[in-house]
Structure 1
Amino acid sequence: MKSPLFLFGLLVLLNSCNDNVVPKPNAYLSLSYPKATYQKSSEALPYRFQYSVQAILNIKPRSWSDLQYPDLKAELNMTYQKVDKDIMRLFLDAEKLTYKHALKADRIEMHPYENKSKKVYAKIFEVTGDVASAIQFQATDSTKHFLSGALYFDASPNYDSILPAIDYLKKDIETLIETLEWKH
Structure 2
Amino acid sequence: MKEIFKIFSVVILLAVAVVSCKQEFSPKPKAYPRVVFPERGYTLFSPAGCPFQFEVPSYANVVEDTIYFDKFIKGSCWYNIQIPKFNGVVNFTYKPINKDETLEKLIEDAHKLSFKHTKRADYIDEVVIQNPNKVGGLLYEVGGDAASNVQFFLTDSVHHFIRGALYFNNTPNADSMQPIVNFVKEDLRVMLKSFKWK
TM-score by length of 1: 0.81
Could you tell me which runs of 5 or more consecutive residues in structure 1 were left unpaired when the two chains were aligned: 1-25
Alignment of 1:67 onto 2:72: no
2:47 alignment partner in structure 1:
43
* Aligned residue runs from structure 1 range 1-184, under 5 A: 29-44=33-48, 45-60=50-65, 61=74, 62-85=76-99, 86-115=102-131, 117-183=132-198
1:20 alignment partner in structure 2:
none
CA distance in 2, matches of 1:56, 1:137: 19
**Alignment-mate amino acid for residue 92 of structure 1:** E
2:6 alignment partner in structure 1:
none
Q: State, as a whole percentage, how many aligned pairs show the same letter.
A: 36
Could you tell me which runs of 5 or more consecutive residues in structure 2 were left unpaired when the two chains were aligned: 1-29, 66-73
Q: Structure 1: which 4+ aligned runs deviate by more than 6 Å?
A: none
CA distance in 1, matches of 2:93, 2:174: 25
Instruction: Measure how far apart 1:73 and its partner are.
Output: 0.2
- SS of 1:163's equivalent in the other structure is helix
**Alignment-mate amino acid for residue 155 of structure 1:** N
Count of residue pairs brought into register by the alignment: 157
Query: RMSD value over aligned CA atoms?
Result: 1.4
- SS of 2:147's equivalent in the other structure is coil
- SS of 2:110's equivalent in the other structure is helix
CA distance in 2, matches of 1:87, 1:27: 46
- SS of 1:32's equivalent in the other structure is coil
Instruction: Measure how far apart 1:42 and its partner are.
Output: 3.0
- SS of 1:31's equivalent in the other structure is coil
